[in-house]
Amino acid sequence: MKQESLVIETARKYPMAFKQMDTKLIDIFFSKKISKIGYEYDYIKKSWMGMTNMNCDDLKTSVASYNQNNIMPDTEPDITILDLQDKIAIVKVEIEWAPKIFRFDYLLLTKEDKNWCIEKILWQSIP
C-alpha cells in the first residue's frame, strides 16, 4: 500500500475513535505520549474559550464518552496530507464534530518500522 494511503487511514482513526467511542483505536494508532492541544469557540457567547490540553489518558476518557448521545454526524472527514516524508507526516482533518460545529485538526504522525502513529494534535473550532 502506498504511504499516502497508510497515512490517511491512520488519520481516519482519530475521528473514528470518537464516533465509535473506541479507546482501542487510541492504543493502536496513537502514541502513548500523545499531546492534544486546541481552542474551542463558544458559539453562544461568540468568544474563544481557553486552551485545552490532553494527554493519552485524557484523550481516552474523552473518546469513551464524547458520542454517547450520537452527537457526531455521519459526514466524512476531509483529510488532506500537508507534508509527507519518510518518517513524519502532517495531516489536516476538517470534520463536523457536532451538528454544524466544525473544527480543523492538524495531526503530526511518525513512522516506526512500517506503522504510522499519531503523535500530536493541534486543533481549533471554526467560528
Give the model confidence (pLDDT) of 10-38 as tens digits. 999 999 999 999 999 999 999 999 999 99
Give yes or no for residue 110 having a pLDDT over 80. yes
pLDDT of amino acid 118: 99
pLDDT of amino acid 9: 98
Mean pLDDT of the 1-5 span: 91
Domains of the chain: which residue ranges? 3-125
pLDDT of amino acid 35: 98
| DSSP secondary structure letters along 43-87 | TTTTEEEEEEEE-HHHHHHHHHHTTTT--S-SPPPEEEEEEE-SS
pLDDT of amino acid 1: 72
Give the model confidence (pLDDT) of 43-101 as tens digits. 999 999 999 999 999 999 999 999 999 999 999 999 999 999 999 999 999 999 999 99
Whole-prediction pTM value? 0.93
Neighbour order of strands in the sheet with 78-84 = 47-54, 30-42, 115-125, 101-112, 88-98, 78-84
Give yes or no for residue 109 having a pLDDT over 90. yes
**Residue range 3-125 in CATH 3.40.50.300:** no
Percent of the chain past pLDDT 90, that is, above it, reads: 98
